[in-house]
Amino acid sequence: MSGENRSSFPGVGAILACLAVLALSSCSWHPVNPSRASSPKAESRQRTLLDADWLFHRGDVSFSNEVVTAGYDDGQWRKVRLPHDYVLDGTYDSTNARNHGYLPYPVGWYRKHFIIPESDRGKVLQLDFGGVFRDSEVWLNGHFLGRHPSGYTPFYYDITEAARYGAENVIAVRVDPRQFEGWWYEGGGIYRHVHLTALAPLHVAHWGTYVISTVPDGDQGADAEADLTLQITVRNEAPDPARCEVVSRIVGPGGRLLKTVNAVETVAAGGRHEFIQHAVLEHPRLWSLQTPNLYQLHTAILRDGRPVDSTVTTFGIRTICYDADQGFFLNGHHVEINGTANHQDFAGVGIAVPDSLEFWRVRQLKKMGCNAWRTAHNPPDATVLDACDRLGMMVMDENRHLGDTYLPKTASGTGATNLSDLAVMVQRDRNHPSIIMWSMCNEEKLEGTPDGMAILTAMMKVVHRYDRTRPITSAIVHDWPANRAGDVEDIIGVNYNDNKYNAIHRQHPDKPMFGSEDTNQKTTRGEYVNDRATGMCSGYNLSEKGWLAVVTRPFLCGSFTWTGFDYKGEPNPYGWPDVSNNTGLIDSCGFPKDKYYYFESCWSAQPMVHLMPDSWNWPGKEGQNIRVIAFSNARRVELFLNGRSLGAKDMPHDAYLEWQVPYQPGRLLAKAYTDGRVVATEKLETTGAPARLRLSPGRTRLQAGAEDAVVVPVSILDAHGRVVPFADNRVHFRLTGAGRILGVGNGNPADHDPDKADQRNAFHGHCMAVIEAGSRHGAIHLTATSPGLASARVTLKVR
């Protein structure tokens, strides 16, 4: 491989090329499991989930100085469980903000009553919020803890002094989402988890574990050994110095203890100390897209030989390399970045996405060959990163704001003196093996200007303070190829501008480059005519040109398609009646669109063929030509209508085939051939009238007490069991047993029915419900009914 355009990454300001990174898979702390790690048992650290039994009031509250006290009468407030997005409860109205889904964004209040045990006296107590949108103010027992403006970064408060031990405590949270940070649906409320953490005064600091690895010659595919550097920050909140021992145990993917290292130092009273430890692993099992191997680091803090704190950190070992001429390499192997950008909301739940649904969404994208997730345009919930770590999906982790602002776009003259949100993002996320780059911003007008360059430089210094193992980039759209941001950042991210890729490469021949956003095509599932009045976008709007511009240029590392899923808000291209966006490869409920299959034909090695339109029901068009498109990764496709061949054609690479087919009811069949052998088929049949419902969850076993949720798709079938493409029947859901209906949806961007409901119209034959398990074991019985149709029932077992 070329060496002259591949540079090292020695420190701040250098261009990233070949890196070996070991990463942590979760910022959450969990008690050490001594049986797995053979480590001393420590009882001091307790992490309690506080998601249950919150009380909520929609709208502001008079006498706010009283509402934060323990004695305030909240008996009429609504009981909710976190994660919670209350904006989703509103009513769509065309007079509300277009880009935010035409929903109202009022102030909201939360209160929670809970007991802090007497046994916690003498410990350090932290109240941890995963994310609140936005501008939250928090009180405990009437004591003001603080304000956190960002809706996208986690934060915590020390409540040791304000806590009442052995008695009831009351948290009060005011949320004000009226000042938007972005230009899409952002929701509102305590939409990520809340924990109470009880610690010994001597403990591992918040986000205090950082593990780095180097794999000698890893960029050439070597895996003989990995050199590990463990950076563990210990904090002493006691009034006296503490001499302590840090014991680190490395556990392999199979659960076997591999290495133990330790160090002894004195930590000053009220101070902190960073312990640096080293270890070498022989023949490490590398993290990759196909085999996402993960290790664990078990850390114990001992004082006078007695364990006082312990944590478990999950990590993976892998190398990443960016070459200015040849693209991206993972563990020494060339990998095309087949990415999608994704906002964080999902139908039925808004931004309050259950952890298990994050894993489900990653799997939906992996099925089509997608291998990278861009967190557009903000730090994600940590569970997204956990899912990508465990399932094998690379991540472009993106910061929300360019400099010191909470406005959607950064104005000229904005400073960069308080970059705490960026610092939090990097410290929380820096060890996830899935993350392959940091993105500082998206489509800012200051890109490349003197103000923008100064801010970007300051932000890069902050990132390098906490992590030097990944490249820094931005998603830039303006003024290419002259944009000066490319002079500063490590790798160049280009939004759209595919006709300028060559010119940008000539301008920056030593910089690796990728498409940070492209192929923004508006299509609606099951629609094949553009209709401004109804808000529908034709599936024929897709084009292969955006992807071909990337894949035909070896110097590009790949790209991120806009978007993986439809999302609420930013209703392009029409606005009202649409309340969600039409750009996804998958609709807002998880049902694939036609262009999903185009990218599957480009990205997946699994033989496939797909026909567009996705149905063969065209009453009134008999004898008229229907434009039929075939997507396939096979070499040749033949089309048949009612048993008669309409001809076979060679499939162009990363493109598609077309036929003009005079419509007649019956069967349209595609056969895909490679080396003369049929490797895939797809058929479309003219269906009858709706006759029955079908429920088809991806799994039927759920975990009790873990906020485990599953998407239950509904299909409208005819008498022969075929999906009826024009069916829009009203479906009612009835649930009994150990769970609840979180929400419903159908993927129709112009549907104004509420997501928080027990009924929904089908859209082109489909709708869905999100079902969550409760805290007890048992069974969930979900029944779907629709007037005139045979009902369907499914049983989910909760254990």
Specify burial of residue 408 (Cβ count, 10 A radius: 0-12, 13-18, 19+).
middle
Residue indicated by tokens 């230009």:
183
Torsion, CA 650, CA 583, CA 565, CA 651, rounded to 10: 0
Backbone angles phi, psi at 369, to 5 degrees: 95, 0
CA dist list (Å): 655 to 498, 524, 539, 631, 650: 17, 20, 15, 7, 11
Separation of alpha carbons 154 and 131, rounded Å: 5
Q: Which residue has the tokens 């299909």?
A: 715
- C-alpha span between 631 and 594 (Å, rounded): 9
CA separation, residue 160 to residues 126, 141, 145, 549, 708 (Å): 7, 12, 11, 57, 32
Determine whether 185 is exposed, middle or buried from the number of CB atoms within 10 Å of its CB (0-12, 13-18, 19+).
buried
> Cα(449)–Cα(443) distance, rounded to whole angstroms?
13
Neighbour count for residue 184 (Cβ, 10 Å): 24
Give the C-alpha separation, 421 to 157, whole Å.
15
Contact of 347 with 589, CB cutoff 8 Å = yes
Separation between Cα atoms, residue 90 and residue 96, nearest integer Å:
11
Burial of 675: CB neighbours in 10 Å, binned 0-12, 13-18, 19+ = exposed
How far apart CA 91 and CA 100 sit, in angstroms, is 13
Longest CA–CA separation in the chain, Å: 89
What backbone torsions phi and psi does residue 359 show, to the nearest 5 degrees? -65, -40
Count of other CB atoms within 10 angstroms of residue 534: 16
For 766, other C-beta atoms within 10 Å of its C-beta total 25
Closest CA to 692 of 724, 658, 644: 724
Helix (H) or strand (E) holding 363: helix 355-366
Q: Exposed, middle or buried by CB within 10 Å (0-12, 13-18, 19+), for 224?
A: exposed
Q: Measured between alpha carbons, how far apart are the two ends of the chain, in Å?
A: 52
Nearest to 215 by CA among 295, 288, 284: 284
Enzyme catalytic residues: 443, 517
Q: How far is CA 776 from the centre of its chain?
A: 28
354 token code pair: 């259950």
Nearest to 289, CA basis, from 374, 370, 380, 397: 370
Give the span between the Cα atoms of 657 and 345, in whole angstroms: 34
Indicate the SS3 state at residue 789. coil
Cα 13 to Cα 538: distance, rounded to the nearest angstrom:
46
- Quick one: DSSP state of residue 723? B
- Dihedral sign, CA of 483, 489, 490, 493? negative
Q: How far apart are CA 174 and CA 193, in angstroms?
A: 16
**Dist. CA 185–CA 193, nearest whole Å:** 20
For residue 730, how many other CB atoms are within 10 A of its CB? 14
